Structure 1
Amino acid sequence: MKKFATIILSGLLLIGCKSQNDPSPTPSPIPPPNVATELFSFNFNETSGQTLSETKTNASFNINGPSGSAERIGGVEGNALRVNGFYGWATGNASAAYPTSKVCVSGWVAPAAFPVQRKDLDPITENTNAAIFSNVNTSTSAGIALGINHHGRVIGQFKVGTNVIQILSDQEVALKKWSHIALNINASSGTASLYLNGVQIKSTTFDIGTLLWDNNATIYIGKESKSKTIAGFDTNGLTGAIDQVALWNKDLTAAEILTQYNKFTPSDPDLKIPTAVRFANDIHRPKYHLMPSASWTNEAHGLLYIDNKYHIFSQRNLNGPYLEHINWGHYVSSDLVSWEEKAQVLWPQPGFDEVGIWSGHAVISNGQPYIFYTGVNKARAAIGLATSTAPYDIWTKNANAIIPNAPTTSANADFRDPFVFQHNSDWYMMIGSGLRSGTSRGALYLYKSTSSDFKNWSPQGTMLEGNPPVDGTGDFWEMPIYYNFGAKSIVLINKLPNANALYWTGNFNGSQFVRDNPVPERLDVINQLLSPSIHPDKNGNLTAIGIIPDGVTSAKHKEQGWAHTFSLPRVWTLVNGKIKQVPHPNVLSLRGTSKNFTNVVFDQNSSNSLNNSTGSQYEIVATINPGTATKVGFSLNKNTATNEQTLIYYDYATSSFVVDRSKSSILSGVPLSNQSTNYVLPAGNINWRIFVDASVIEVFVNDELAFATRSFPSAGNNLIDLYAQGGSATATDLKIYNIQGGGTASVSKRTEKKTEIIHPVVFPNPSSENFNIKFNSITEATPVYAYIFDITGFPVKKMETVLDANNPIIHWDGIMNNGNKAIRGVYIIKGLLKNELFDAKIIVE
C-alpha cells in the first residue's frame, strides 16, 4: 500500500514540476490497476428542464414526457430525478470503452410503488425490470440492466458469451425510502452479486466468458430497455426517484460498495405528488371531491371509522392512469370532507396475490380492524386477510389465503370482492361471482367464520342468485354490500355487463337472503356511481362513498395523468323499501359566499337567467316550480362562444331524468352520450342540490334521489343557467354557493386543523313543540343553513335563516317538511353557522 501511494505521489510531483513552456502535452493520469473509476456518472443535480447531463462524458439525456413535465426532488445529495411510471425517465447515448471482463453498476432508488407486471400479457416467469440503468439491445440482449422488479426485488441482467444471465434477490426494497443497490459482474471468474444498502443479498455463478455490449444501444435511466405497453401506456418505467447512478470499470469490492453506501445518510424522500404545480392548468381535475394525487383509482372499499378518524381504501395503480397491477390506496379524514392521501397499504407480492390486490372490505371486531381482499395470480383469485394497529398506516398480510379458491360444486366465472358482516353473534362473508350452470347469472357465495381471528371459514352455498330474464341483473356480480337497517336489510350488487349498482330489500335468515321483490331497485336514478363503500359515521348515520368514473379515452387519461374520482359522502336511510340518499351534513363546511335569487321566471326563450353566474366549483340549492314547462332544470358548463352546455333536467312528458351531454364539449376523447332514466316524480316543486366540481356533477333531488355524471368543457369558469322547454317555470328560491377546499391533501395543500364543532343550547328540551336553538357567539348578521335529521339520519326539516346579536335563536315548531308533526324520539340538528359546523340533540316528547 505504501509503495502504491509513493508511485502516485511521485507522479503528481513530476506533473506539478513541468515547465509551463514545455511544449509536450501533459498526459492524463492513468489509474492504476484495480482502482475503480466511473465510466458514467449521473448526479441529477439539474434544477429544471427536460434534459440531464452524464458528468463523465457531458452527454445530454432527454427526459421523456411533455414539455415542462420533468420533475426533481431532493436526493441523497443535491437533487434526484423523479420518474412517474409511464413518463419521466431519461434516454440518451454516451461513448465509453465498455469493460469485457469486470463491471459494476450502482445507484440509489426510492420507489413510490413497484412497477407493473401485465396480468394478461406477461408470463408469470417474466420479470419487469424498472431499471436505474439499462443499455440492453433488446434483439441481442447485449448490455446490462439493474433495477427493481414488479415485486420490489433487486434484479440484474447481462450477457456473457451466448448466455443471458438474470439475477434476482429474495429481498424487497423498501417503499418510499432511499436504498442503495449495486450489481457486480466478474465474467472472467463467472460470478455476479447483488447488493442492497452495502450488504450482499444474492450471488450467482455462470460459465466464464466475455461480457457483451452494444456500443450504440440507447441508455435508459428509470426504465428497462424493452417496450411493454397497455392502451398506449409504457408499463415498465420506475415510479419513484433515482440518484447517484454510476457504471464502474471493474467489479467493486464489498468494502468499496459499503463505502459508496456510507457516503450519504439521506432523509426519507418527499414523494408526494405536487398536485398544485403538476395540475395547475387542468380545468377538469376536481378540487373538493376526494381523489388520489395522480394515476389510477377505482372501486372504493373498506370505509372505516376508528380512533376518531375515517379511513377509506380504493383500487390503485400508482404507475399510471390505467387498470393494471392493482394496490390498495389509503386515505384518512377527520370529517369525511378533507382527506389526506397515505401510502398504499397492500400491494402484489409473490404468492396468491402476486398479480394484483383487488377489491374487498374492512370491518372492526373487538376494536381490531381487519381487511379482507381479493388476491389474484395468473391461475385464480383467492381471499386474503390483513390486520393493523394504530394509526393504521401499516397493514400486515396473513401469509396464506383464508379462502384459497372458489367452490367447485358449480361452474363459476371469477370469484372476488368479499364483504363481511355480522348477523346475530356470527360473522359471514359473501363473495361475488357468476354461475355458469344453466342460465348464466350473478351470484353471491356465502361463508361463515369458524374462528375469532377470521382465518377459518366454512362454505355455506349461495346466499343469493340472479335471474337475468326477470331481474336484469346480468351474468356477474361484484362489490356486494349487506346492511341491516333494523326491520329490513339490503343486499346491493354491482352487476356486469353494463355496470350498475342495484339492491334488494329483504331479510337474511342465516343461510340465504330472502328478497321482498324479485326485481331490484337502482341505487342512483341515473347510473354513474359505482361500488359504494359504507360505514356508520361517528353519529351512527350510514355513510356511503362510491366512485364516479371519468368515461374518457385512454389517450385523455394519459393527457390528464389521473383517472376517476370519489363521490361526496352520502347518508343512506331506508324509507318505504327504498334507499334515500342525501349529501352528508359535513359537506356544508365546504360552502363559501353565495349568490341568491328569488322568483326567477324562465322558459325556452330565456337566456342568462342567473345574471352571468359562472363557476367551476360550486353548489346550487334551488326550489323550482315547474309551472307549465315540460322540461325543467339547469344548463351547466355553458359557453356561448363555443355553444357548449350540459343539460340536467326532468322531462315531464316521458317522466325521466335526463343528462344531455351532446353539446357538453368540443374536445375529443370525452363522453358526449346522453343519459336518462324513467322515474315518476310527484306533482309539485322540485328541490335540487347540485354539486359541480370541474368535470364532476353530483345531483340530489327532493332529499331522496341522487345521480352523478361527468362533463369536460373546453374552458373553465362556465356560465350557470336555468333551462326549460314547453312552457315557463319559476325558481322560487335559488342559491349558488362558491366552494373552495375539501378534496385530498397533497405536498402543496395540507389538511387544515379543524376547530371544534359548535354545540348550541336547545330549550325547552325535551318538548313536544316550539324548540329554540340558541347560539351564544353571534355578534353580527350571520347566515345559518341546517337540517334536522331523525334517528335514522333521514332529513325531516330544512332550515335556513339569518341570525344576529339581537336574534341568536333558530325556532322549530316540531313540524316536518311533509307537514306532519314529528313523532316521539331523538333528532339531531346539523348545519353551518357562517363557515363553522354545529350540531345539537333535540328530544321530542
Structure 2
Amino acid sequence: MKKYITIILFGVMFIGCKSQNDPSPTPTPPPNPTVATALLSFNFNESSGQSLSENKTNANFTIDGPSGSAERIIGVEGNALRVNGFYGWATGNASTTYPTAKVCVSGWIAPSAFPVQRKDLDLITENTNAALFSNVNTSNSSGVALGINHHGRVIGQFKLGTSVIQILSDQEVPLKKWSFIALNINASSGTAALYLNGSQIKSTTFEIGTLLWDNNATIYIGKESKTKTIAGFDTNGLTGAIDQVTLWNKDLTDAEIVAQYAKFSPSDPDLKIPTTRFANDIHRPKYHLMPSSAWTNESHGLIFIDNKYHIFSQRNFNGPYLEHINWGHYVSADLINWEEKTQVLWPQPGFDEVGIWSGHAIISKGQPYIFYTGVNKSKAAIGLATSSPPYDTWTKNPTAIIPNAPSSSANADFRDPFIFLDNSQWYMMIGTGMRSGTPRGGLYLYKSTSTDFKQWSLQGTMLEGNPAVDGTGDFWEMPVYYNFGAKAIVLINKLPNANALYWTGNFNGSQFVRDNAIPERLDVINQLLSPSIHPDANGNLTAIGIIPDGVTSEKQKEQGWAHVFSLPRVWTLVNGKIKQVPHPNVLNLRGASKNFTNVVFDQNTSNALNNATGSQYEIVATINPGTATKVGFSLNKNTATGEQTLIYYDYATSSFVVDRSKSSILTGVPLSNQSTNYVVPSGIINWRIFVDASVIEVFVNEELAFATRSFPSTANNLIDLYAQGGAATATDLKIYSIQGGGVASVSKKRPEKKSEIILHPIVFPNPSTDNFNIKFNNITETTPVYGYIFDITGFPVKRIEAAVDVENTILHWNGIMDNGAKAIRGVYVIKGLLKNELFDAKIIVE
C-alpha cells in the first residue's frame, strides 16, 4: 500500500508537467512551496554506549541509567533506542533556531506498554505525555512535546502566547508494533493536527499567535519534561522503542507526512528483554516463574485449555513499582517452562482507566472468561473479557458487569472477584472490608443470572470476619473457593500484615458455613500469598502463588524487577487441612545429584556436605534429630563474610524457624527472622528444599510448605547442615542440580518442545492386595526413577526413588505408605520421571 501511495504522489507531480505540444494556455505557476528541512534529527544508529548524537548539530545526548545500561534494538532503519519506563531516555541540548510560526515533530514509536498515570497523585484530567520529543520549560510551559499518554493515545503540547495548547487523539497506538506519529503546528493559521501512520487522526484550531520556545530548555527523547515520581522511580518515561525522531522547520503537508511514513516498512520490533540485562544478577531466580522484568505481584487466572496452561499476573511494565497495573500473561505446556506473552488487559478510558487489578479466570462450555477489578480514581468495578484460540488477545466487555460495591459507605474497597460453580449455578465472591460496626474483612456474594456472565444478582455476604476472635484483619483480598467433595474451603488473604488463611466448611447456596471459627494458615511460615488454583491435566488441584521480595524500593530499582511466583504445588484436603507438595512435573528440573547417607552432625560440625555449593538446586533429606534440639540447614553460607540463612526446626519450642539475621551483608534486603509454632508428630523430618538464587521454598513431610527470601552477597554458596544442643543424623540426603524452568529466554524464544511422550509401565499383579511390580520396557542402562504414588484425591502416599537397569527393569511396592500404614482399597496412580521421560500407571489395591 505504501508503494502505491508513493506512485500516486509521483503521478500527481508528472501530471502537473505540461508537454511542449500541449496547446492549452500555460497557467501561472504557484509560488515555490517551502521545502521541509530537519532542524534536529535523531536516528539512534550508535551501536553501543551511554550517549547518542543529534545528526544536524552533532550535539551529544546522554542516555539515562547506570553505566552500560543503554540498549538498542533493530529499528525502522538501522538501530533504535530502547527505553524502559524508568530509565533509558536521552537528554541534552542542541543549538538551533526554533521556528515561531510553523513546525512539525515526527518519529517512530513501538510501545511495549503505555506509560503511567499515578493513581493518587495525578488528576484524572491530567495526561501523561511520555514523549518522543519534549523541550518544554516546566516553569512556563514554552516548547513542544509529542508522545503518547497513559492510554496509548497520541498527544501533543505547545505554548502559544499565554495559552498552553494540548491536542489528544481518540485512537490508541498498537502495542509492540512500529507506528509513525507526527504533530503539525501552524501558529500563523491557528491550526494543529496529529497523524498516525500517514493519516490525520485529530485536528484543532486556536487563536493565531506566536510559538514560544526556551532555547536553553533540556531536550528529552523518550520522556516527558516534567518530573513525576513514585518511590524514587520516574513515572513518565516511554517503555518500548523509538526511532527517526525529527523536528522540522515547517508544518508538513499531508503528502509529505505520507512520504515520511512510506520511507520505511519495518518488521515488528523484538522487544523481549535482552539476556545481557540480568546476566550478572546473582539474586534473580531462574527456574521459578517470574516476568521478564519490572513489577509483578498477584498471580491469578490459572487455567488449562487446549493442552496449555495459562496464568496471568499483576504487571507494571514501566518499572518495578506498584502502579498502572496491566494483566501479564504466561503460557506453559508443563507448569514448569513458561513463555511470557503480550499483556492481555491494560487501563483504557472508562471504569478501568487507572488499573486492571486482580481477578479470576474460568472455562465454561469450552469458552474462557476473565473477571477482573477495574479501577478509576474514585472506585472499583468488576469487568469481563473473553478470548478465542490461541488466547493471546482478549476482548473486554465495554461496560462493567458489576459497576460498584453494594454500599460505598459500608465497605472499604471492593475487589478481586473469584467465580465458582455450585449445583449448576455460577457464583462470584468479591473481597472487601466491612465498615458497618467493627471493621472486618468480608466477601460479597453474587449469582449469575445470564449464560454470558454479564448479569449478576447480589446475594448478600458469603462470609464475614471477626478480627478479635479469628485474627483475620479488617480487609480481605484475593479470595479462593474450592469444593474437595466432602468439604470445601474458602481462602482469603487478610490485611493488614498480609497472610493467606483458610477455613473448611460447606457452601449452602448463600453463605459459607465454617467448621471452625479460627482459620488455618496456608503456609506454616507466612510468605506465600494470593495463590491461584486450577486442576492440572490429570486432575490434581494445582496452586501457584507469589513470594514477595521484601526488599526496599531502592533495591528493586537496582534489580530492575520485583517479586517471583512459587513452584506449582498440588493441594489435597486431609483431616481438615490443606496438604501441599511440589507438583510432580517439578521432577523434570532435576539434574545430577550428590548423595549422602548417615551424616552425623552437631553444633561443632562444619562443611558436613563436603563443599557442596550452588545457587539453583533441590535438597531431599531425611533427618533424625537424635539429641539435638535445633536441626536443619545452613544455606547461602559464606565463611569469608559470615553470611548464612538458617532453616531449621526447634524441637524445644515446636517451631519452624527461618533465621536471616546473618543472611546478607548487603543493604536494602530482608534480615528479619521468621518462625511459627507447629508440632511435628514424630522427631524424624523429611525435608524437600528448593533454592533458586534469592528464593528458598521448603516442603516438609509431604504436607507442609513455606518460603522465604535471602539475598547473599555472592553466588554459589556453601550448603551445610545445622544442629544445636546435640547430634543429629541425615540418614539420607541428596542435592540435585537444577537447570531450566522459569520464563523462556527473554530475548530469544525457547524452541517449541515436541509433544511429550508419557511412558506407561506395566503393573502386575493388578489389582492386588500388595507386592505390586512396576515393569519398564526398553531399559538399556542404569536409569534413575523418581516419582510418587498418589491416592484418589491426588495426595502423595509413597515417594519413589530407585534405579532400574538392563538386568532389573522392575520396581516393587509392597502396598505400605510412607506413614507406615497399609494402603486401603481403591485406585492409586504412580507418576514420575524415568531419566528424562515422564511416566504414569494405574494401581488398583484390593
Matches within 5 A, 1:543-692: 543-692=542-691
Q: Are 1:841 and 2:837 counterparts?
A: no
Q: Distance in 1 between matches of 2:838 and 2:640?
A: 40
Q: Are 1:738 and 2:737 counterparts?
A: yes
Matches within 5 A, 1:408-427: 408=407, 411-427=410-426
What amino acid does structure 2 have at the position aligned with 1:448? Answer: K
User: Are the equivalent residues in 2 in contact too, given 1:156–1:167 (CA < 8 A)?
Assistant: yes
Partner of 1:795: 796
Partner of 1:384: 383
User: Are the equivalent residues in 1 in contact too, given 2:272–2:748 (CA < 8 A)?
Assistant: no
1:414-445: per-residue Cα shift (whole Å, max 9, x none)?
00000000001100000000011111000000
Q: Distance in 2 between matches of 1:335 and 1:569?
A: 10
What amino acid does structure 1 have at the position aligned with 2:467? Answer: P
User: Are the equivalent residues in 2 in contact too, given 1:133–1:219 (CA < 8 A)?
Assistant: yes
Partner of 1:12: none
Q: Are 1:828 and 2:829 counterparts?
A: yes
What amino acid does structure 2 have at the position aligned with 1:807? Answer: N
Deviation at residue 828 of structure 1 after TM alignment: 1.2
Q: Distance in 2 between matches of 1:188 and 1:749?
A: 52
Partner of 2:444: 445
Partner of 1:151: 151
Partner of 1:357: 356
Partner of 2:697: 698
1:6-28: per-residue Cα shift (whole Å, max 9, x none)?
9xxxxxxxxxxxxxxxxxxxxxx
Secondary structure of 2:777's aligned partner: coil
Deviation at residue 409 of structure 1 after TM alignment: 8.2
User: Are the equivalent residues in 2 in contact too, given 1:339–1:751 (CA < 8 A)?
Assistant: no
Partner of 1:268: 268
Q: Are 1:810 and 2:816 counterparts?
A: no
Secondary structure of 2:768's aligned partner: coil
Q: Distance in 2 between matches of 1:372 and 1:123?
A: 27
Deviation at residue 581 of structure 1 after TM alignment: 0.2
Q: Are 1:758 and 2:742 counterparts?
A: no
Distance 1:61 1:805, change over 3 A: same
1:747-805: per-residue Cα shift (whole Å, max 9, x none)?
23615515322222222222222222111121111111111011111000111111100
What amino acid does structure 2 have at the position aligned with 1:788? Answer: I
Q: Are 1:332 and 2:331 counterparts?
A: yes
Q: Distance in 1 between matches of 2:808 and 2:395?
A: 56
Partner of 2:26: none
Q: Are 1:786 and 2:771 counterparts?
A: no
Secondary structure of 1:278's aligned partner: helix
Q: Distance in 2 between matches of 1:315 and 1:634?
A: 34
What amino acid does structure 2 have at the position aligned with 1:296? Answer: W
User: Are the equivalent residues in 2 in contact too, given 1:615–1:720 (CA < 8 A)?
Assistant: yes
Secondary structure of 1:524's aligned partner: coil
1:355-376: per-residue Cα shift (whole Å, max 9, x none)?
0000000000000000000000
User: Are the equivalent residues in 1 in contact too, given 2:314–2:327 (CA < 8 A)?
Assistant: yes
Q: Are 1:455 and 2:493 counterparts?
A: no
Partner of 2:135: 135
Partner of 2:178: 178
Q: Distance in 2 between matches of 1:409 and 1:257?
A: 50
Secondary structure of 2:259's aligned partner: helix
Matches within 5 A, 1:220-299: 220-274=220-274, 276-299=275-298
1:712-762: per-residue Cα shift (whole Å, max 9, x none)?
000000000000000110000000000000000022361551532222222
What amino acid does structure 1 have at the position aligned with 2:723? Answer: A
Instruction: Choose 774-783 or 635-644, whichever is displaced more.
Output: 774-783
User: Are the equivalent residues in 2 in contact too, given 1:340–1:751 (CA < 8 A)?
Assistant: no
User: Are the equivalent residues in 2 in contact too, given 1:338–1:751 (CA < 8 A)?
Assistant: no
Q: Distance in 2 between matches of 1:844 and 1:191?
A: 84
Give the fraction of aligned pairs with identical amino acids, expressed as a percent: 85
What amino acid does structure 1 have at the position aligned with 2:269? Answer: P
Matches within 5 A, 1:14-33: none
Secondary structure of 1:586's aligned partner: helix
What amino acid does structure 2 have at the position aligned with 1:502? Answer: L
1:36-61: per-residue Cα shift (whole Å, max 9, x none)?
01001111111111111111111111
What amino acid does structure 2 have at the position aligned with 1:558? Answer: K
Structure 1 residue ranges without an equivalent (≥5)? 7-30
What amino acid does structure 1 have at the position aligned with 2:323? Answer: E
Deviation at residue 817 of structure 1 after TM alignment: 1.3
1:286-343: per-residue Cα shift (whole Å, max 9, x none)?
0000000000000000000000000000000000000000000000000000000000
Q: Are 1:777 and 2:778 counterparts?
A: yes
Q: Distance in 1 between matches of 2:698 and 2:668?
A: 24
Q: Distance in 2 between matches of 1:522 and 1:613?
A: 33
1:392-420: per-residue Cα shift (whole Å, max 9, x none)?
00000000000000002861000000000
Secondary structure of 2:468's aligned partner: helix
Distance 1:90 1:410, change over 3 A: closer
Q: Distance in 1 between matches of 2:655 and 2:530?
A: 24
Q: Distance in 2 between matches of 1:254 and 1:150?
A: 27
Secondary structure of 1:461's aligned partner: strand
Deviation at residue 3 of structure 1 after TM alignment: 15
User: Are the equivalent residues in 2 in contact too, given 1:592–1:835 (CA < 8 A)?
Assistant: no
What amino acid does structure 2 have at the position aligned with 1:841? Answer: K
User: Are the equivalent residues in 1 in contact too, given 2:552–2:669 (CA < 8 A)?
Assistant: yes
Deviation at residue 684 of structure 1 after TM alignment: 2.8
Deviation at residue 837 of structure 1 after TM alignment: 2.0
User: Are the equivalent residues in 2 in contact too, given 1:591–1:835 (CA < 8 A)?
Assistant: no
Partner of 2:768: 767
Partner of 2:195: 195
Q: Distance in 1 between matches of 2:758 and 2:251?
A: 64
Partner of 2:7: none
Q: Distance in 2 between matches of 1:119 and 1:205?
A: 31
User: Are the equivalent residues in 2 in contact too, given 1:143–1:212 (CA < 8 A)?
Assistant: yes
What amino acid does structure 1 have at the position aligned with 2:131? Answer: A
Deviation at residue 836 of structure 1 after TM alignment: 2.4
Partner of 1:167: 167
Q: Distance in 1 between matches of 2:822 and 2:14?
A: 100
Deviation at residue 32 of structure 1 after TM alignment: 6.7
Structural RMSD (CA): 1.4
Structure 2 residue ranges without an equivalent (≥5)? 1-12, 19-30
Distance 1:4 1:799, change over 3 A: closer
Deviation at residue 353 of structure 1 after TM alignment: 0.2
Partner of 1:72: 72
Distance 1:749 1:711, change over 3 A: farther
Q: Distance in 1 between matches of 2:519 and 2:266?
A: 57
What amino acid does structure 2 have at the position aligned with 1:821? Answer: K
1:467-491: per-residue Cα shift (whole Å, max 9, x none)?
0000000000000000000000000
